[in-house]
């Protein structure tokens, strides 16, 4: 499949959560296509192991590793500073890092972990890289979302699962928030040469959640899960595709709630505040 994708020589691609599962296979696929790669991982050892594996598997040694906790705004800010200072261009940003939790967990900054990792972290990181992405255009922002976004709505009184936590429901709400961010951002980016899309990678036997090993055997492989992210990152025909949700390399409709512009506007304003974005850093409506 990778042979049918355009080569990525000269393109700098950043993947978060790149040491495992879908992120690792996507990063490996991009390295095989010749991209200059930035892996973002939260654990230095797991990150370095992944970096070495990718280099050994692809023969491409232009693979850098940066360490950050994408659920913490302070860490995301430090990461963005490093990227902005050390890399002249970013052509592809893949917000992939994710978890699925069975109990409510707050970050040290006080946000529900899944909301922080799937929505606020990518919201902040993407904003802080926007000038670089625009200067590198054509550039692509790809948010790894989930079909499970359909399982919940945005409830502004329960965004941190303060009233009620549901093992799937809270995950679903965090992915819905990320999807609404993708759509709002895409509108604002129209005409800039930077696109924003999101995708469901399939039901993949990765390290996420607490799926027992024997069940994973019946799920699709992480390599399969990397196919749609790679397609969105590399396919030349998708250069102007913007504000869409993909599954199996095809655009499709997401939940009705995900297109609610009143909720999206309120969520955007709240996210700017929660992520600690200054007015000068915020992407304004087109
Ligand atoms: N698997 C599926 O069926 C499925 C379906 C729909 C959507 N997704 C989405 O696909 C994405 C990738 O998940 P996966 O299935 O490949 O799971 P995975 O194998 O567990 O990979 C998740 C990656 O995210 C990293 N990560 C977790 N918390 C982080 C943090 N606070 N800061 C930085 N990195 C962090 C993990 O690092 P560590 O190794 O250090 O924990 C790992 O590299 C997620 O966004 C997930 O929601 C997966």
Q: Return the percentage of the chain with pLDDT > 90, whole number.
A: 91
Q: What pLDDT, on a 0 to 100 scale, did the predictor assign at position 2?
A: 43
CA of 175, closest atom in ligand 1: 47
Q: Flag whether 284 is in a domain.
A: no
DSSP track, 144-199: E--GGGGG----TTSTTSSS---TTHHHHHHHHHHHHHHHHHHHHHTTTTEEEEEE
Domain around 199: 2-279
End-to-end alpha-carbon separation of the chain, Å?
A: 37
* Euclidean distance between CA atoms 34 and 55, whole angstroms: 11
pLDDT in tens, 195-215: 999 999 999 999 998 777 778
Q: Flag whether 286 is in a domain.
A: no
Residue 285: pLDDT band by 50, 70, 90 thresholds? low
**Choice between 254 and 6, residue whose per-residue pLDDT is larger:** 254
Q: What pLDDT, on a 0 to 100 scale, did the predictor assign at position 256?
A: 98
* Euclidean distance between CA atoms 173 and 157, whole angstroms: 12
Q: Flag whether 56 is in a domain.
A: yes
Pocket of ligand 1 (CB under 6 A): 16-17, 19-23, 41-43, 46, 69-71, 96-99, 117, 144, 146, 200-201, 203-204, 206-208, 222
Q: Flag whether 170 is in a domain.
A: yes
Q: In CATH, what number is assigned to the domain containing residue 186?
A: 3.40.50.720
Domain total for the chain? 1
Over residues 23-48, the mean pLDDT reads: 98
Q: What pLDDT, on a 0 to 100 scale, did the predictor assign at position 1?
A: 44
pLDDT in tens, 225-247: 999 999 999 999 999 999 999 99
Is the pTM for the entire model greater than 0.85? Answer: yes
Q: Flag whether 159 is in a domain.
A: yes
- The encoded tokens of residue 124 equal 């902040």
Q: Flag whether 265 is in a domain.
A: yes
Q: What pLDDT, on a 0 to 100 scale, did the predictor assign at position 270?
A: 98
Among 16, 21, 173, say which to mutate for ligand 1: greatest number of ligand atoms within 8 Å of CB. 21
- The encoded tokens of residue 133 equal 């992405």
pLDDT in tens, 142-191: 999 999 999 999 999 999 999 999 999 999 999 999 999 999 999 999 99
pLDDT at 48 over 60: yes
Contacts of 113 (CB under 8 A, 6+ apart): 71, 99, 101, 105, 106, 107
Angle 125-184-172 (CA atoms, 0-180°, nearest 5)? 75
Q: Flag whether 15 is in a domain.
A: yes
pLDDT in tens, 63-84: 999 999 999 999 999 999 999 9
Mean of per-residue pLDDT scores for the chain: 96
DSSP assignment letter at 258: G
Whole-number Å distance, alpha carbon 21 to ligand 1 midpoint, is 7
Q: Flag whether 285 is in a domain.
A: no
Residue 286: pLDDT band by 50, 70, 90 thresholds? very low
């Amino acid at each position: 499949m990778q042979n049918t994708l355009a080569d990525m020589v000269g393109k700098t691609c950043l993947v978060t959560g790149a040491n495992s599962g879908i992120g690792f296979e996507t990063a490996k696929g991009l390295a095989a296509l010749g991209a200059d790669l930035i892996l973002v991982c939260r654990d230095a050892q797991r990150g370095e192991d992944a970096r070495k594996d990718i280099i050994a598997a692809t023969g491409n040694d232009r693979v850098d590793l940066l360490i950050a906790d994408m659920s913490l705004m302070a860490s995301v800010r430090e990461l963005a500073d490093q990227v902005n200072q050390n890399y002249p261009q970013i052509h592809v940003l893949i917000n992939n890092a994710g978890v699925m939790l069975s109990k409510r967990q707050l970050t040290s900054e006080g946000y529900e972990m899944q909301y922080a990792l799937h929505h606020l972290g990518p919201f902040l990181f993407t904003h802080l890289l926007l000038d670089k992405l625009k200067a590198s255009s054509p550039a692509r922002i790809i948010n790894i979302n989930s079909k499970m976004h359909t399982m919940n709505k945005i409830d502004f009184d329960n965004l941190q699962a303060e009233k009620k936590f549901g093992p799937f429901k809270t995950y679903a709400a965090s992915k819905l928030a990320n999807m609404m961010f993708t759509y709002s951002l895409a509108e604002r980016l129209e005409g800039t040469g930077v696109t924003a899309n999101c995708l469901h990678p399939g039901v993949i036997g990765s390290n996420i959640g607490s799926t027992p090993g024997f069940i994973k055997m019946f799920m699709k492989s992480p390599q399969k899960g990397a196919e749609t992210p790679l397609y969105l990152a590399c396919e030349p025909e998708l250069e102007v595709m913007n504000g869409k949700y993909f599954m199996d390399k095809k655009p499709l409709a997401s939940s009705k709630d995900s297109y609610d512009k009143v909720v999206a506007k309120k969520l955007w304003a709240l996210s700017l505040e929660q992520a600690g974005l200054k007015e000068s850093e915020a992407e304004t409506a087109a």
